[in-house]
Amino acid sequence: MEFEDDAFILSARPFGEAGAIIELITRRHGKYAAHVAGAASRRMKSHLQTGARVTARFRARTAEQLGSASLEPIGEGPAALFDDRLALAGLASAAAIVAGALPEREPHPGVFLGLEAFIAALAAPDVWPPVYVRFEAALLADLGFGLDLSRCAVTGVADDLAYVSPRTGRAVSAAAGEAYRDRLLPLPRFLLSAQGGLAEGDVAAGLAITGHFLERFVFAPLNRPLPAARHWLADRLAEAGRL
């Protein structure tokens, strides 16, 4: 088994004296783990950061084998973010969500493209937090658990949508949801439209929605908690006043 693909590094951990086990999200082949020889060298260490983009050449004798990979870097990777701890927290959370949510070796090109768009947005501090929420919403949809924000689940109207049902993931209008507002999740307008604008508290509301459904539909069935990096991101955004 052998292939070459564009990839982002999700994680890397030392293995043996000089190697590493890396986890990748590839454009066409999905999430893969592989052994990388010589990972302890100074040259390789800089290419094994979370979020680094690489061309990965994967080889394995059989489909069940861990396999090995050789990597060629693409661009400067996350080095430009090293002075921005908040952006690094966002990158770590996105990588942890992808690593924990996706099944092994199952193509998810939409998730790759979503991560690509999010990483590009990290260069704009005022833009990337809502982009992160959209990234999680898109990942949910790619896994078959997309939110239905097209119209009110109760009345069928497409206007004045203000809530999301925590049970179904469907939108509810302000009028229909008023009597049950304490049981519903507030719906920020930026999730309805890219031109919806961003108000105070919207990022927190978006994170609450995607976090709820990631926990319920993705991580709970795997008997896993929401990744610690995701909680860390929410805390850091709150401390920075960016929610």
Q: What domains are defined for the chain?
A: 2-79 (2.40.50.140), 83-149+187-239 (no CATH)
pLDDT at 23 exceeding the cut of 90:
yes
Cα–Cα dist 23/153, whole Å: 39
Q: What is the mean pLDDT of residues 149-168?
A: 96
First to last CA, the chain: 46
The whole-number pLDDT of residue 194 equals 72
The whole-number pLDDT of residue 141 equals 97
Count CB neighbours of 167 within 10 A: 10
pLDDT at 77 exceeding the cut of 90:
no
Burial class (CB in 10 A: 0-12, 13-18, 19+), 228: exposed
Across 49-58, 74-83, 111-120, 191-200, least confident range:
74-83
The whole-number pLDDT of residue 192 equals 93
pLDDT at 81 exceeding the cut of 90:
no
The whole-number pLDDT of residue 6 equals 97
| CA neighbor of 175 nearest in space, from 155, 149, 148, 147 | 155
pLDDT tens digits for range 177-223: 999 999 999 999 999 987 677 889 999 999 999 999 999 999 999 99
SS3 at position 19: strand
Q: How far is CA 100 from CA 96, 136, 139, 143, 230, in A?
A: 6, 12, 12, 12, 11
Tokens 């304490």 belong to residue: 182
Count CB neighbours of 220 within 10 A: 12
The whole-number pLDDT of residue 109 equals 97
Packing angle of the helix pair 202-213, 128-142 (nearest 10 deg): 20
Tokens of 170: 């469907």
pLDDT at 17 exceeding the cut of 90:
no
The residue ranking higher by pLDDT, 38 or 79, is: 38
The whole-number pLDDT of residue 115 equals 98
Sign of CA dihedral 227, 232, 233, 235: positive
Q: Are strands 68-73 and 53-59 parallel, antiparallel or unpaired?
A: antiparallel
pLDDT at 15 exceeding the cut of 80:
yes
With a pLDDT cut of 70, the percent of the chain lying above it is 99
Q: Which amino acid is at 24?
A: L
* Cβ atoms of 95 and 233 closer than 8 Å: no
The pTM (predicted TM-score) of the whole model is 0.94
The whole-number pLDDT of residue 16 equals 82
Tokens 């949508």 belong to residue: 161
Q: Nearest 10 degrees: CA dihedral of 41, 43, 45, 47? A: -150
